[in-house]
Every structure is written in C-alpha cells, then in structure tokens.
Amino acid sequence: MTADHADFIAKLRQIEEQANALGAEVAAGLARTRLQHIVVLAKMLRGRLEFGGASIVRRVADTPVPGERGGAG
C-alpha cells in the first residue's frame, strides 16, 4: 500500500466518523438518510482500498468455473 492509499483511507475513515457523529445529532428524515448513505459509500470505498477488489459472481450449478473446461471434453 502506498502512502497515497493510506492517506486516502484515513480521509475516508474521517468522513465516516464525521457523518456518523452528525447523523447522531440530526433528527430522522432525509438528512439522516443521506448521511447514512455517505457512511456506506465511504466504508465501501475504504474496503476496496484496504482489502482489494473482490467480485461476487452468481454461478449456476451447471456452469463451469471460469478458467476450467466445461463439459465432457
């Protein structure tokens, strides 16, 4: 991880903390919903940087795993 990545992760963590703090002070409604959305986005972006890009793929049981040969040959 580069210094830029670490700095960006720290900034995303600050966004999460500040949005959570403000969300605790704001009454339920559109503003709180938007703050929760900001928190989720910041966590998602931070997770991508910290843990790398993982993809979740739906696969049918009959479908061969990518990279493997399918069928009887």
pLDDT at 1: 74
Predicted confidence (pLDDT) per residue in 10-19, tens digit: 999 999 999 9
Rounded Cα–Cα distance for residues 42 and 36 (Å): 10
The domains of the chain are located at 3-51
Measure CA 48 to chain center.
6
Mean pLDDT of 43-47: 92
The dihedral sign for the CA sequence 39, 40, 42, 47: positive
Q: Would you give the DSSP letter of residue 62?
A: T
> Which region holds residue 29: left if phi is over 0, alpha if psi is between -120 and 50, else beta?
left
Place of tokens 């009454």: 27
pLDDT at 50: 86
pLDDT bin (cut points 50, 70, 90) of residue 53 is low
